[in-house]
Structure 1
Amino acid sequence: MTAPLLVGDQMTGGYGHTTILNGCSIALAQGEIAVIVGPNGAGKSTAMKALFGMLTLRSGSVHFEGEDITSLSPEERVSCGMAFVPQTQNIFTTMSVEENLEMGAYRRREGLGETMSQIFSLFPVLKEKRSQKAGELSGGQRQQVAVGRALMTRPKLLMLDEPTAGVSPIVMDELFDRIIEVARSGISILMVEQNARQALMIADKAYVLVQGANRYTDTGQALLADPEVRKTFLGG
């Protein structure tokens, strides 16, 4: 068994007096694609924020590469090798594509050109539009900028919150293809996705959350084949 890269164990927490996560556990290994799916209000995005240190846990823990990072700030977790792309407000709209990518590498001092070349290879349209303001791009292209900027940190784990929200089915398929490419390079992917069926198709590991707790955990293919999961969460 490969040692897990990230483990969120029995995470419980929420906002104010409202509890959103109820003993939720998430784990994935290096190079894996793991997805979190479930109905609206299930705590999917909250689980991601807890793993990235944007939510203080009332109980439970988060470990990264075997180290307890429960008390670390999001910035400290970036230094550990984690990168997080929120669903909205994830680019600098008045800055160019290239400037957005450079902002992703503000903590680095070397190898920027090489990493940017890799991102332009992954997302050729960004090279074409490198001097254009990011706010002028289509929704799918903006998501590519956001993912590219996160990759500029050279993370070990890329966390994506609803990366295909609001994009066309064709763009969604393209984004999923690029996500698979990133995982093949050895970077782990943890993704919250409303397009559950499509996300499960590319998932090595999948978690179905309901009311902040784990309802099903298995491979993506196994959950796609599960009649109860299909009936309850995938529309039959």
Structure 2
Amino acid sequence: MSEPVLIGEGMTGGYGTGADILHDCTIAVDAGEIAVIVGPNGAGKSTAMKAVFGMLTLRAGSVRLNGQDISGLSPQARVGRGMGFVPQTNNIFPSMSVAENLEMGAFIRRDDIRQTMEQIYTLFPILRDKRHQAAGELSGGQRQQVAVGRALMTKPSVLMLDEPTAGVSPIVMDELFDRIIEVARTGIPILMVEQNARQALAIADKGYVLVQGANRFTDTGAALLANPEVRNSFLGG
């Protein structure tokens, strides 16, 4: 088996000097894959994502990106190595225009960003139409597209999304998932935490069900949807 593009392996840890939230937790995403992390509230889903991104201290385990151990790197350094991360909230600059938000995403680049901008406008046509509008004036779904687009401006080797459909309508959720599939088809692997478990597993190549900070089930998205225990315990039957 080849090394995944991104893997947090055997992660144990929590915030500061507090109790451990993650317990020997492993999540990974392979090239061209959508991997989703689901589970009940308080399961440690977003904590696992933040651990991979370097936002809490691991007491055990490691994080590897493209085969290199990055466990000791800051989140900023991880972005420089190829991680794109979209937090659940406060993920845009509301007073800046859509175009300015995208330009801010390219802060670490020293090359011509216009081609990447064009690719993002092709991926998210509404952003081209709204490019001169303040991002804070957009709908929730459109703001999420700005946030994802800004992360893509770094030309990441992996994209991490924390609850991308939180607070949006079912129609907007379906549209965002369609866009996420399109991003994955460009070759960028996606690791995603999602509260809408059934819908997320339906588009996932691989799924992780976490319970109390530990792996409970790991399988393909289709297999998890078909698993009676997963359905009854985590998907509402």
What TM-score range do you get, normalising by the shorter chain?
over 0.9
- Give the structure 2 partner of residue 125 of structure 1: 126
- Give the structure 2 partner of residue 85 of structure 1: 86
1:3 CA drift (Å): 2.8
Scaled by the length of structure 2, the TM-score of the pair is 0.98
Please list every run of 5 or more consecutive structure 1 residues that lacks an aligned counterpart in the other structure. Answer: none
AA aligned opposite 1:92: F
- Give the structure 2 partner of residue 197 of structure 1: 198
Between Structure 1 and Structure 2, how many residues are aligned? 236
- Give the structure 2 partner of residue 226 of structure 1: 227
- Give the structure 1 partner of residue 3 of structure 2: 3
1:206 CA drift (Å): 0.4
C-alpha distance after superposition, 1:47-80 (max 9, x if no partner):
0000001111011111111111000011111111
AA aligned opposite 1:107: I
1:17 CA drift (Å): 2.0
Identity rate, percent: 75
SS in 1 for 2:41: coil
SS in 1 for 2:72: coil
C-alpha distance after superposition, 1:126-172 (max 9, x if no partner):
00000000010000000000000000000010000000000011110
Q: CA RMSD in A?
A: 0.8
In structure 1, how many angstroms separate the alpha carbons of the residues matched to 2:194 and 2:66? 25
SS in 1 for 2:36: strand
In structure 2, how many angstroms separate the alpha carbons of the residues matched to 1:109 and 1:157? 20
- Give the structure 2 partner of residue 216 of structure 1: 217
AA aligned opposite 1:195: N
1:2 CA drift (Å): 4.0
SS in 1 for 2:49: helix
In structure 2, how many angstroms separate the alpha carbons of the residues matched to 1:193 and 1:117? 28
AA aligned opposite 1:14: G
In structure 2, how many angstroms separate the alpha carbons of the residues matched to 1:154 and 1:140? 22
1:203 CA drift (Å): 0.5
- Give the structure 2 partner of residue 149 of structure 1: 150
Please list every run of 5 or more consecutive structure 2 residues that lacks an aligned counterpart in the other structure. Answer: none
AA aligned opposite 1:234: L
> Within 5 Å, which residues of 2 pair with 1:63-82?
63-82=64-83
In structure 2, how many angstroms separate the alpha carbons of the residues matched to 1:162 and 1:60? 24
SS in 1 for 2:21: strand
AA aligned opposite 1:153: T
- Give the structure 2 partner of residue 40 of structure 1: 41
With 115-124 and 11-20 compared, the bigger mean Cα shift is at 11-20
> Within 5 Å, which residues of 2 pair with 1:133-144?
133-144=134-145
AA aligned opposite 1:149: R
C-alpha distance after superposition, 1:21-54 (max 9, x if no partner):
0110011111110000000000000000000011
SS in 2 for 1:18: coil
AA aligned opposite 1:100: N
In structure 1, how many angstroms separate the alpha carbons of the residues matched to 2:94 and 2:29? 33
- Give the structure 2 partner of residue 178 of structure 1: 179
In structure 1, how many angstroms separate the alpha carbons of the residues matched to 2:183 and 2:142? 17
In structure 1, how many angstroms separate the alpha carbons of the residues matched to 2:110 and 2:31? 25
AA aligned opposite 1:8: G
AA aligned opposite 2:82: G
